[in-house]
Copies of this chain bind each other. A is one copy, B any other.
């Protein structure tokens, strides 16, 4: 993966927030909407941008799509994601996202990584 490509992905605030939150674990689009408090188009487009360049992976899980950081990131990506987390550790704007994420997790018990039941997810709404 080209280093320039990585930086192109990192040079937008929304995408930084997405990746920062994703470091905590996989998440679906509607959760991102809640955590970032941004409209669906915006979230979906930026996730698409990241996905097209290999910065995130996605898999459909019933009705919704779960995004995650790559299972096997390149060395450059791994280094930069670590650097990113490090640099954002004290940034209040990004910490607010994490706070909303934790609030979400406490009310929503869905395990985003559990295997998908054969025919149905068994739940109508995400959270």
Contact = CB atoms under 8 A, between A and B. Distances in A.
Interface of A: 3-4, 7-8, 10-13, 16, 75-76, 79-80, 83-84, 86-88, 91
B3 A87 contact: yes
Contacts of A12: 4
Nearest to A2: B13
Contacts of A16: 3-4, 7
Contacts of A7: 7, 10-11, 16
Nearest to A5: B11
A10 to B, nearest CB: 4
A16 B13 CA distance: 20
